[in-house]
Structure 1
């Protein structure tokens, strides 16, 4: 078990206190702190402490991959940790983005290298050759927009917005653009579709067209629009409709008549909440309209979501644990001051409306294991009981779990253990370490099984706490 120090990422959307309070070593960081990286990404590897000597984690793994990763993992992925664990704190909405597919990441990386774009350049989109899947597990209430909502909901939301761009998006979604004043826009959007579009359904093509209008159309270029005011007014109109509907439902129930369904309006209201929050940070950015096309997600502590390559998403607010394939490839389409790569975002976009994907959950008495169905990573959000136990877990973590299922054995896998609260005692074949809030260790595959328990203080008193345990999924 090797002590490890995370890499802090100071992005403008980060919280000014959440990660600083989680990790004592970060308390001196002033201003926004967005992410803590635990991993071996070549551009931002964590630092390990080997008997007082510090070294990058990726170098240590390359020196002895079979011991660090295990024979199976090192033969499968080579001398690199296949996952990257982050703890993120979102204070204001961050970019609308997609992650690349594997073959697009490889092609894009080599294309930018051939063009002489430095790896650390602002305009660099592909910083490695890996596609990117990720999973987020909420550590407190977490809000996001992920993937495309049913087309009927998209249309219902956009119709409330009094603007030509929103009207154009509705035409695209209704399949009426080819025979409308938007025909030229439809042809332009079609020219931006990737080769894979030949196999798309008509609804998927309509969604792509509408998304293109939100993020790429220059139809109203040069005009200044206060999107915050427009979206706020639209939400107020929706609220008046919801209030009137509830009054009618109340009267109907009193008369013994079944109430009218309001699920769609309630979801549309959540879509507007996310879009309005984004517009507060980016009031001049029309890409806020894209959030009215996307599933609004509310994760309670312990709930998770899985995001595949090509799925558009934007995090709105909250603290979460994020684990992903070991990649820093991000294709931003809007809602950011960073470099936008709309052409590549569109090339990788998956425009099919579908529900938000949830990882498989295996519930045990000491926490929940989340498995997205990939070999690269799995995550446990665990806790140990004692005099102090502040685990960010509640009944919501078990939302799709039938009974108590033993978590998969991960003794021969490379693991990352992060103490979220309290104090823990981690024991294994190579010794025992005590972890306090904010401490972390990398556990090589060769260390074998570990046991995480409450630490004993003087006498019989015990501490307790919560932790993250990341590993490969193999």
Structure 2
């Protein structure tokens, strides 16, 4: 086990106290702290402590990939950790974004390299050559907009917004040929040849929301607008949905109110950005602590508020269309957009003896949210209720402690004891490094090489315990 230090990201939308309270070593940071990265991304690798030396995790892996990653992982992905673990604290809404598809990431990365754009340039869109899928698990109440809602819900939300731009978006969603713009269709990717009518209409309406104000159309709705009062008024109208004689279902009413609520919150931070209207087209998501969502490449999303852990493929590629002070790349976002109305995808969440194991179905990553020395570890870890889709299948799902894969262990609270190596029935010590024990307190983290073999996590005695995150591959 190797001590690992996270990389802090002081973005403006971060919290002034949430991550600082989870990781005591960050308490002296001034200003907002948005993310903590645990991983080996070449642009922001975590530092690991090897004896008296400190070096970047990606360099330590390249020096001995067999020891650090194991044979299976190093042969599959080369000398690089295939996942990136983050803790995030969202104080104000952040960017409306999409993560690129694999082939678009490769093409974009090499295109920007050929153009001489530095890897750390603010105007860079592709910082590596990998597509990016991610899973987010709430650590406290977490709100987001993820993917496109059913078209009927999109129409109901937009019709409540008293503005010509929203009305034109409604016409586009309804397939009004007069309202269509060839400029929108020109931005469609080659994959649009396989889209149905609904996907094309959603793309056009979304295009209009994120392109408004950029002079790309000869219509009269591009004037600068303060969207906050308009959205508050729409939210007030939504509060009266479901009155006697109304045809709306409870699902529709709740979806419209929540979508407009997210749009209002975004407009409080970005009142002049028409991209807030795109949130009225999207699924509004509220994740209770311990509940997760999976976001694949091409799915539009925006985080609104809360604290969570993210685990993703080892990529920093983000294409933004609005609600941000960072670089926007709307053309590339549109080339990667998946304009299909679909429910938010939940990762499979398996109840294990001391917490919950999340597996999104990818080989690159999985995550465990664990509890030590709780009377009811499962409920203590996630506040589980009957409404959550947990599965009692731990017998067929090996937990990450038991596999020889590269793992990252973070102590979220309390005090834990992690041990690697064990004595086999034949009396031999398993694990290349022998028997080792590390006592971890809140905020401590270790990288566990594959060569260390299985790890056990407990409280050391009956009076100590805590919660932890354990990241691994999905293999």
TM-score interval (norm. to shorter): over 0.9
- Give the 5 Å matches for 1:98-177: 98-176=98-176
Please, what is the CA RMSD of the aligned residues? 1.8
Q: What is the aligned partner in structure 1 of residue 283 from structure 2?
A: 295
Which blocks of at least 5 consecutive residues in structure 1 are unaligned? 250-258
Q: Is the 8 A contact 2:140 2:306 kept in 1?
A: yes
Question: What is the CA–CA distance in structure 2 between the aligned matches of 1:299 and 1:388, rounded to whole Å?
Answer: 21
Q: What is the aligned partner in structure 2 of residue 256 from structure 1?
A: none
Shift of the alpha carbon at 1:298?
0.6
Question: What is the CA–CA distance in structure 1 between the aligned matches of 2:229 and 2:52, rounded to whole Å?
Answer: 56
Shift of the alpha carbon at 1:361?
1.1
Shift of the alpha carbon at 1:383?
0.6
Q: Is the 8 A contact 1:388 1:422 kept in 2?
A: no
What is the DSSP-based 3-state SS (H/G/I as helix, E as strand, rest coil) of the residue aligned with 1:283?
coil
In structure 2, do the counterparts of structure 1 residues 231 and 144 end up closer, same or farther at CA, with 3 Å as the change threshold? same
Q: What is the aligned partner in structure 2 of residue 448 from structure 1?
A: 453
TM (norm. structure 1) is 0.92
Aligned: 1:408 with 2:398: yes
Q: Is the 8 A contact 1:418 1:438 kept in 2?
A: yes
Aligned: 1:199 with 2:191: no
Question: What is the CA–CA distance in structure 2 between the aligned matches of 1:157 and 1:286, rounded to whole Å?
Answer: 15
1:397-418: CA deviations, max 9, x gaps? 9821233524424321100000
Shift of the alpha carbon at 1:238?
1.5
Question: What is the CA–CA distance in structure 2 between the aligned matches of 1:384 and 1:291, rounded to whole Å?
Answer: 39
- Give the 5 Å matches for 1:318-467: 318-385=306-373, 391-396=380-385, 399-406=388-395, 407-410=397-400, 411-429=403-421, 430=434, 431-456=436-461, 461-467=462-468
Q: Is the 8 A contact 2:165 2:221 kept in 1?
A: no
Q: Is the 8 A contact 1:361 1:398 kept in 2?
A: no
In structure 2, do the counterparts of structure 1 residues 288 and 170 end up closer, same or farther at CA, with 3 Å as the change threshold? same
Shift of the alpha carbon at 1:377?
0.3
Question: What is the CA–CA distance in structure 2 between the aligned matches of 1:375 and 1:26, rounded to whole Å?
Answer: 32
Q: Is the 8 A contact 2:374 2:380 kept in 1?
A: no
Shift of the alpha carbon at 1:168?
0.9
In structure 2, do the counterparts of structure 1 residues 345 and 205 end up closer, same or farther at CA, with 3 Å as the change threshold? same
Question: What is the CA–CA distance in structure 2 between the aligned matches of 1:400 and 1:469, rounded to whole Å?
Answer: 21
4+ runs deviating over 6 angstroms: 387-390
Aligned residues: 453
Aligned: 1:20 with 2:20: yes
Report which stretch shifted further, 338-347 or 220-229.
220-229
Q: What is the aligned partner in structure 2 of residue 3 from structure 1?
A: 3
Question: What is the CA–CA distance in structure 1 between the aligned matches of 2:3 and 2:289, rounded to whole Å?
Answer: 27
Shift of the alpha carbon at 1:66?
0.9
Q: What is the aligned partner in structure 1 of residue 44 from structure 2?
A: 44
Q: What is the aligned partner in structure 2 of residue 210 from structure 1?
A: 205
Which blocks of at least 5 consecutive residues in structure 2 are unaligned? 422-433
Question: What is the CA–CA distance in structure 1 between the aligned matches of 2:120 and 2:26, rounded to whole Å?
Answer: 24
Q: Is the 8 A contact 1:388 1:463 kept in 2?
A: no
Question: What is the CA–CA distance in structure 2 between the aligned matches of 1:222 and 1:238, rounded to whole Å?
Answer: 25
In structure 2, do the counterparts of structure 1 residues 214 and 304 end up closer, same or farther at CA, with 3 Å as the change threshold? same
Question: What is the CA–CA distance in structure 2 between the aligned matches of 1:290 and 1:202, rounded to whole Å?
Answer: 19
1:375-433: CA deviations, max 9, x gaps? 00000011101599995421149821233524424321100000000000001114000
In structure 2, do the counterparts of structure 1 residues 366 and 409 end up closer, same or farther at CA, with 3 Å as the change threshold? closer
What is the DSSP-based 3-state SS (H/G/I as helix, E as strand, rest coil) of the residue aligned with 2:394?
coil
